[in-house]
């Protein structure tokens, strides 16, 4: 998985956890597991972004564009 893919998966899992909790109050344990998985993906996304942005060359343009499309503002997503 790429960093942006981990980021998107973290967002998806957070929404899944919210959906588990919305309809009823009997899903906190499952929601906790989903949120823990979201945290792992968010951490991996951060690690990937950090690793790509090295001190000498910076992030390659193609990687930057993928991150911008994934994690940018809604306006950023429309312009890429």
What average pLDDT does the segment 1-21 reach? 87
Rounded CA-CA distance 24/6 in Å is: 28
The residue with tokens 């499952």 is 30
* Predicted structure pTM score: 0.63
Residue 40's pLDDT band (boundaries 50, 70, 90)? very high
| Domain extent listing, the chain | 3-75
Q: How far is CA 58 from CA 29, 51, 53, 63, 64, in A?
A: 41, 10, 5, 10, 9
């Amino acid at each position: 998985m790429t960093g942006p893919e981990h980021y998107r998966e973290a967002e998806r899992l957070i929404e899944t956890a919210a959906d588990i909790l919305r309809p009823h109050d009997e899903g906190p344990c499952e929601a906790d597991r989903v949120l823990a998985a979201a945290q792992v993906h968010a951490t991996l996304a951060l690690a990937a972004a950090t690793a790509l942005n090295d001190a000498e060359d910076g992030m390659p343009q193609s990687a930057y564009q993928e991150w911008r499309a994934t994690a940018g503002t809604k306006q950023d997503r429309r312009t890429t």
